[in-house]
Amino acid sequence: MALKIACLQLDIAFGNPAENKRRVQQEIVKAAQEKADVIVLPELWTTGYDLKRLDDIADEEGADTKAFVRELARLHRVNIVAGSIAKKTSAGVTNTMYVVNRNGDLVGEYSKLHLFQLMDEHLYLQSGQSSGLFTLEQALCAGMICYDIRFPEWIRIHTAQGAEILFVVAQWPLPRLQHWRTLLQARAIENQCYVVACNRAGKDPNNEFAGHSMVIDPWGDIIAEADENTGALMAEIHLEKVGEVRKQIPIFQDRRPEYYNGVEKNF
């Protein structure tokens, strides 16, 4: 099965959900016109890293965002991996990804497990408590958010259950661009899966971001890579390749999880 992917590498208006929704709607329409099957947004695309104002600008239970992306998906008949947003709950604010299918049905929700202390996430956000698995176009997928890619044991929990596509959404800073590229390729190689990674572009008051959204195949080969500018990165993936690679080098058959400190018993 072939899927045409569009990663929307956006510059995000700091702390301005209304403007960011306007930009996202415009770019989703364009990607749909290009016959994208799956459209991917970056991390915290509604607010950026305006963490100090999240109590005022975070989306209450994610209600507005879910309605917004569900309507766009239904109207344009596209699947949307809706990056992540600041979701306000009674327990605090989470960094949460939503996934909707072509019918506008919510098929996935994942809140970032690993909070990045260098950007003060642990001071303003609550960690998620569930896995990132979801099914899209009959393919088992996993959603990850930025810092999560530095934790291969977390990702392996998902691919050991059969995930074939790893969707990564991020606001990855430019000074660590080489880490971004290397970690994404490593995650594709060691998990023999497609990695679809959508990063943001541009700057906020504290950071400059790397861009370089990427689509990587199960061998670790880069199919498509953006530069540091805004735009839509388009690429086609072929899911049968996952099975071919996993058959050629059967790492999932050869695993010895009984010796891996019980990490997989928690989920």
Active site residue 198: no
Residue 73 is encoded by which pair of tokens? 């998906």
Q: Pick the catalytic residue from 88, 112, 141, 198.
A: 112
Write down the residue that tokens 């176009």 correspond to.
137
| Catalytic residue (one of 141, 146, 193, 198) | 146
Q: Is 146 a catalytic residue?
A: yes
In the annotation, is 35 catalytic?
Answer: no
Nearest Cα to 131, choosing from 117, 118, 113? 113
234-261 per-residue burial string, b: 16 or more CB within 10 A, e: under 16: bbebebebbeebbeeeeeeeeeeeeeee
Exposed / middle / buried, residue 262 (Cβ in 10 Å: 0-12, 13-18, 19+): exposed
From 7, 21, 27, 43, the catalytic residue:
43
Q: Which active-site residues does the annotation give?
A: 43, 112, 146
